[in-house]
Amino acid sequence: MNISEFQILANSIADEVGRLLPKILEVPEELQIANGNCVLCVMNAAGDTVTRMYGTNPIRQRQVAQVATKKALQVWLTGYATGAYEKLVYNGELDTEKFGIPHPEFIGWLGGLEAKTASGERLIVAFSGVRGEEDQGVLRRAAANLKTFSIVEQ
């Protein structure tokens, strides 16, 4: 996939997430996390990145973008979903030296996922701004709706 195709795919994912987000934010507990300011980060294996911000508060968007980007970068480096990577390290199944992410830099929160395009190319998707389970949930629903990418189950 060339850079233009990646950008088109990432933008279609961002549009679908944007379509799904209002329903998610109807739940008060989801809205309270970042007051509707959410961020999607999509990366490919080469490190090309598309980020989409949702909401109206640039200061809060910046804060949430830092979390979403950190989630995406951790998945990009490790190949493991956020949360799953930390469990593997703490269970002694992975060595952090291999990935260059020391313990204090673990993101830990759910919402960064390994994915693949419909043609089988590596894709990383990360979302932040609602509860972690819903961060993952919106990505899974977008994948199911679009069929242009799928989440890699680990």
Average pLDDT over residues 45-49: 97
Average pLDDT over residues 113-122: 97
pTM: 0.94
Q: Residue 31's closest CA among 127, 134, 142?
A: 134
pLDDT of residue 63: 97
- Domains of the chain as residue ranges with CATH: 3-151 (3.30.450.150)
Average pLDDT over residues 131-152: 96
**Mind listing the pLDDT tens digit for each residue in 2-37?**
999 999 999 999 999 999 999 999 999 999 999 999
User: With 80 as the cut, is the pLDDT of residue 107 above it?
Assistant: yes
pLDDT of residue 3: 96
Long-range Cβ contact pairs of 134-142 (< 8 A, separation 24 or more): 134/24, 134/27, 134/30, 135/109, 135/110, 135/111, 136/81, 136/110, 136/111, 137/24, 138/17, 138/20, 138/21, 138/24, 139/17, 139/111, 139/113, 139/115, 141/20, 142/13, 142/16, 142/17, 142/20
Percent residues over pLDDT 90 in the chain? 88
User: With 90 as the cut, is the pLDDT of residue 154 above it?
Assistant: no
Instruction: Encode 4-20: b = buried (16+ Cβ within 10 Å), e = exposed.
Output: eebeebbeebbebbeeb
